[in-house]
Structure 1
């Protein structure tokens, strides 16, 4: 099973296009106030998507909790910034 530490940064680089926001691979998630951008790692996206689809049988419970708590944490930063 793929873990956060198994991510390959080479696959996430969209090239030299600065208008494209890259995924974050250094952390589970981040919020950038200068761009109003909430970024999650590809694995966090996968896990949060699994939760919203209610298809979590193939995933570890701890990883699901970590991904969703990261999503909520970064969303709260967004709410604080825009609120």
Structure 2
């Protein structure tokens, strides 16, 4: 299961030593913590691999916060389970 904590840990890995300077939670906006679009894409791909799903690229591009990403993954997993 992909949770807010899971996504926050991935962000911390990408930020490295800069992670200590930011507070990460469901309301964290990806752009506000200094992640590049490539780093955000890498986080999305990692989550897709971990969850065994493929997110719609247009939906993934519209994700702005940690919570948005968790909701998108949850919806994708529910849709896959219902299919």
Task: Answer 1 or 2: which has greater strand percent.
Answer: 1
- Asked if Structure 1 and Structure 2 have the same fold, meaning a TM-score greater than 0.5 normalized by the shorter chain, the answer is no
TM-score, L = length of structure 2: 0.28
Larger radius of gyration: 1
Task: Answer 1 or 2: which has greater helix percent.
Answer: 2
TM-score, L = length of structure 1: 0.28
Q: Higher RCO, 1 or 2 (CA under 8 Å, sep at least 6)? A: 2
